[in-house]
Homo-oligomer: A and B are copies of this chain.
Amino acid sequence: FEVSTIKFLFKEIFKASLNLQNNHQKKEMLVSRKMQPQNTIVDINGEMIGDGSQRFIMGPCAVESYDQVKSVALAMKKQGLTLLRGGAFKPRTSPYDFQGLGERGLQILRKVGDEVGMSVISEIVSSNDVEMALPYVDVIQIGARNMQNFELLKTVGKVDKPVLLKRGLSATIEEFINAAEYIMANGNNQIILCERGIRTYEKATRNTLDISAVPILKKETHLPVIVDVTHSTGRKDLLLPTAKAALAIGADAVMAEVHPDPAVALSDSAQQMNIAEFNEFIEELKVLQKKLALV
């Protein structure tokens, strides 16, 4: 062997021991499947996420009014759904776009949730709002743009409410898992991971649904994994097929947006289903669920 070869070999052995340590660290992550082999099941007022059943989380993109939310909630209730999601704080690209109703929006969600008997899921964008939001929401959503807002992650890691964590716009799966670790390292293990599409060169869809993230996340972590088909595709005609793929690949829930009158929605009007489309969507997926459940 030449001297340079020997040097190189030692460098590689050094690298290898570093990798060994990294792997140990990975193994020691609280969210890791190696740390906890059995699934974490998140209990949202009795509706379980991660127990093998597959749920639906639906609602309008943004809370606009009591009537709007109520009509969606009633339609959901008729279909037997109980997980109502709506945005009160909307992170928008432009400061001049509708930014959501804020606390007023949360109040509407809570009121409707109580009247109709549904659990409320809503995004919080600032650690200062977490305390305020607790009485209104049953699950705190952390949006894609805040997946690495570590201050916010730490704050929701300290509360006693489930957290629905969305994957960042172009976060790697490793970064996504580490973001969840920020929450769990602060004490909160009620975490739901949400694949919502990643940013790629392809423009036929709003984002590219990374469907293989579902089995990877379920293998690497013990957390439930859901799929947001609305933001993944940004196209109403793709909601049903991608939801079918999500169910078949083992997602713990499918999330999508419904609006009583999408044409006048204050945000994402092109990609929300109306009530009739929602009913058709749920009914087709129930048929699929029934088939998949057969022995």
Which chain A residues have a beta carbon within 8 Å of chain B's beta carbons?
Answer: 5, 8-9, 12-13, 15-17, 19-20, 23, 25, 91-96, 125-128, 145-146, 148-151, 168-170, 172-175, 178, 181-182, 185, 198-205, 208-216, 219, 232-233, 237-238, 241-242, 244-250, 288, 291-292, 294
A/B interface sample: 12 pairs, CB < 8 A: A8-B16, A9-B20, A12-B15, A25-B94, A146-B149, A172-B202, A174-B204, A204-B212, A208-B210, A244-B250, A291-B291, A294-B294
A145, chain B: closest CB distance, angstroms: 4
The answer to whether B128 and A127 have CB atoms under 8 Å apart is: yes
The verdict on A198 contacting B202 (CB below 8 Å), with A12-B12, A149-B146, A151-B126 known, is yes
Query: Closest residue of chain B to A125, judged by CB?
Result: B151
Cβ B170 vs Cβ A212 within 8 A: no
Interfacial chain B residues near A93, Cβ < 8 Å: 148, 174-175, 178
CA distance A291 to B209 in the complex (A): 25
Least Cβ distance of A154 to chain B in Å?
A: 8
Whether B212 contacts A238 by the Cβ 8 Å rule is: yes
Residues of B within 8 Å of A150, CB to CB, are: 91-92, 95, 125, 145
How many identical chains are in the complex? 4
Which residues of chain B are within 8 angstroms of A250 by Cβ–Cβ distance? 241, 244
A9 CB contacts on chain B under 8 angstroms: 13, 16-17, 20
Min CB distance, A117 to chain B, in Å? 31
For residue A198, which residues in chain B have a CB less than 8 angstroms away from its CB? 200-202, 208
The one of B95, B174, B185, B215 in contact with A182, judged by C-beta atoms closer than 8 angstroms, is B95
Chain B residue contacts of A127, Cβ below 8 A = 126, 128
CB-CB under 8 A for A238 and B210, given A9-B20, A125-B150, A149-B145: no
Given contacts A13-B13, A95-B178, A182-B95, contact A219 B204 (CB under 8 A): no
CB within 8 Å for A12 and B16 given contacts A95-B181, A174-B93, A202-B172: yes
